[in-house]
Structure formats: C-alpha cells, structure tokens
A = this chain, B = another copy of it.
Amino acid sequence: MTTDSKRPLTLRDVSEATGVSEMTVSRVLRNRGDVSEKTRTKVLSAAKELGYVPNKIAGALASNRVNLVAVIIPSLSNMVFPEVLTGVNKVLENTELQPVVGVTDYQPEKEEKVLYEMLSWRPSGVIIAGLEHTEAARAMLNSAGIPVVEIMDTDGKPVDAMVGISHRRAGREMAKAILKAGYRHIGFMGTKMPLDHRARKRFEGFTEALAKEGVEIEDREFYSGGSALAKGREMTQAMLERSPELDFLYYSNDMIGAGGLLYLQDQGISVPGQIGLAGFNGVELLQGLPRKLATMDACRLDIGRKAAEIIAAQLEDPDAEIEKHVTLTPTISFGDTLKRR
C-alpha cells in the first residue's frame, strides 16, 4: 500500500525496505548495469508497493543530465504552435527527452525572461521560434553549450541550427500566383503586430514581388484582438466599401481570410471571378467551409518534427554531421478562391 506520509520517499527508504544498498536500488530503477534477477524483482516490487517516485531533481544534479528540451513559442492561441508542438512531441516520444513549453506572447523581453528561466533548469536543448531575439537572449543561447534550433523562419542567420520556411519567399510566391491569375487591384489585411517578424517578412516579399510587375497594394488594414473570423468579415466589408475597385484580397492568416470569404458569399459576390482571395497557413480547421480558401501550407508539423530530430541527433552524437539549415518549401493550394492559370 502507498502511505500518505508527508515526506516523499527516497531511495534510502526503498533500500531499507529491501535490505539492498541504495546503489543497487538505483541501478535497478534505472535499468543500468547488471543486477541479479532476484534483487531486481525484490526492489521493483518494493518500490511499487511503497509508491516510490524517483527524484529527478537529485538525479539530474548528480548525473549532470537533464532530459528536458525547452520549446519557446510566441503563443498557444492560434493553432499554429500547438501543431508545431505536436510534431516535436511525436519525435521526442521515442527518446528519453521531454519538451517543456514556454510562451512569450510575441514580446522580446518576455522571451528573454522565459529563456533565462528555462536555461536555469539546464535543459539538454532549446527549440525557439524565430530568428529575432534580444542581444541578451542570443548571448544566452550562444553560451548555453547545448543544441539550439530556431524554427519557423529561415530568412536570417541562426545562432546554431534553423528549420523553417522562407516567409519572404512565401509572400513572393503568392504574389506571383495572384498576378499570374490576372488580378491587379490588390488589398491586404493582417494583424497589427509589429513583432510578428514572419508576418512582416511575408508582407515584404509580397509587396516586393508585386512591385517587380509594377503593381502596388491599393488598400490595407490591420487588426488586433477579437475573433479572427469576425474581424475578417468586418475588415473585408470596410475595405470593399472604401475601395470597390479591388479584385483581390490577401489575408495574413486563414482565419480572417475565411471571415472575408463568408462575407463575400453573404453579399453574393462571385469568388474567384469578381474577387479573388488568399490566406496563409493551411489551417485544417477550415476544411469544411463552403468553399476552400487559397492558402499556403506553413509545414508546421514538419518543422516541429525536424527540429526535434536535430536536437535528438545532436545529443546522441555531438560530432555527427547534421544539416543545420533546413528550409522547407511551402506548397500553395489554390482552393476555390484563386483562379488557376
């Protein structure tokens, strides 16, 4: 039976209960070294009986090994990072490693703080979103002496390794597809987030590719807070009332794009004939909407997976030859809202 004593049990308790030395108990519990089958079962059953739970704090200190991987992301509330986490989990499940998540709310200072907190637990590796960090954060990553993978974005120089897509290129590709389909009067809607560097880079790539063909964005609007779907509706309505000449709307994420799509349908406006639409992300959630929004897959699952693989591989063999710059290529899906050519 388990007892409800105040003090958690220690190896010593198990040792005393079995008459086996602490050392051997430790060996049994960790499956390390040879232990006779007899003592092994004795120890195991005693540990179970007593309800012994090992103290990883002490173990980590003594062995100087912490099987934790810090995963630092900006947000949990838009489905893209949870999906990255799923990818990370999938890979780490097959190892001794365990992810620990920290959230920064897109604030550099908070990122710095979260990173500091996490590093103080001496994790075995760090997976962190983005390539932009405070100088102090970069310094910490540099001197931590553990594998570091920066994820999501590859437009920049990583501290160590990076896995992601080029958001600049993603913006460019979408612009090209839109122009190729014949649209010329383009509006843009996105989040009001100066610190979302990836959205910024997509936007830059987008305008750059348009400019190359002599096209400029004719209207734009940014939002913050609230339900993205509703905001998409509102912004789309406002923009079309203001700029009725527009024939294409590019949204910085699929949720507001979906809101726009629903609005246009309500209005009986023909999509993609009269107006074309595109978003970004490939949100699976939206499958099932009356019409499929054109979008671009951000490879979130693969990013998480690959990042975890790099960490795991590097810990397994620090001298292994590992590809440290992984750029995935997002695929564009035309859906029902962007004419094909």
Contacts and interface: CB of A to CB of B under 8 A. Distances in A.
Given A76-B85, A289-B262, A55 B229 contact: no
B85 A227 contact: no
A55 B228 CA distance: 41
A51 B145 CA distance: 12
Most buried by B among A79, A285, A288, A289: A288
Integer count of this chain's copies in the complex: 2
Given A76-B85, A86-B77, A227 B286 contact: yes
B143 A227 contact: no
B8 A145 contact: yes
Interface stretch (A97-105, A175-183, A268-276): A97-105
Contacts of A288: 227-233, 259, 262
A33 to B, nearest CB: 20
Interface in A208-234: 226-233
Interface stretch (A14-22, A113-121, A125-133, A185-193): A113-121
A5 interface: yes
Size bracket of the A interface: 35 or more
A289 to B, nearest CB: 7
A271 to B, nearest CB: 15
Contact of A229 (B3, B266, B286): B286
Interface stretch (A38-46, A56-64, A148-156): A56-64
A2 B143 contact: yes
A76 B116 CA distance: 25
Interface of A: 2-8, 51, 53-58, 60-61, 66, 76-77, 79, 82-83, 85-86, 89, 98, 100-101, 103, 116-117, 119-122, 139-140, 142-145, 226-233, 255, 259, 262, 266, 284-290
Given A5-B145, A55-B120, A77-B82, 20 more contacts: A2-B139, A3-B143, A7-B145, A51-B139, A51-B143, A53-B116, A53-B140, A55-B122, A56-B120, A57-B66, A76-B76, A76-B85, A77-B79, A98-B117, A227-B285, A227-B288, A228-B288, A229-B287, A229-B289, A262-B288
